[in-house]
Amino acid sequence: MLTGAEDENRRNIFDAPIHKRFPKRFNIYGDTYAEWERSSILYLNPKYVNCTKCSDCDSWITDKQKPGYQARLDVGEYVDEKIYCPECATFAREKLKN
Ligand SMILES: [Zn+2]
């Protein structure tokens, strides 16, 4: 949980127009460029958003079996009643086999 000061700092970072913080057009490599079109912010708080952390690596994931599934997050997978990110789920399944 964020304290009031932390929340205020975070808000200040994102309040500034993003196009002033990043160039509209930026170089990927060589002569390849990408252009920024838009961005969005998703505050990850399991109390309000369908998100949780992987049981192994702590990366943010969403639970497709619950309402409010977040398409911007990796989908968590249950292995032996614990939820994992896709990579850790693979290892957890392998571990169960052995
Ligand atoms: Zn993981």
Please say whether the beta carbons of 61 and 85 come within 8 A: yes
| Rounded distance from Cα 98 to ligand 1 centre (Å) | 19
For 94, the token pair is 């392998």
- Band of pLDDT at residue 2, cut at 50, 70 and 90: very low
| Rounded distance from Cα 61 to ligand 1 centre (Å) | 9
User: What are the angstrom distances between the C-alpha of 66 and each of 21, 38, 56, 71?
Assistant: 36, 28, 20, 13
- Band of pLDDT at residue 8, cut at 50, 70 and 90: low
Distance CA 75, CA 88 (A): 12
| Rounded distance from Cα 79 to ligand 1 centre (Å) | 12
pLDDT at 95 over 80: yes
- pLDDT per residue as tens digits for the range 38-87: 777 888 999 999 999 999 999 999 999 999 999 999 999 999 999 999 99
Q: In the prediction, which pLDDT does 1 show?
A: 44
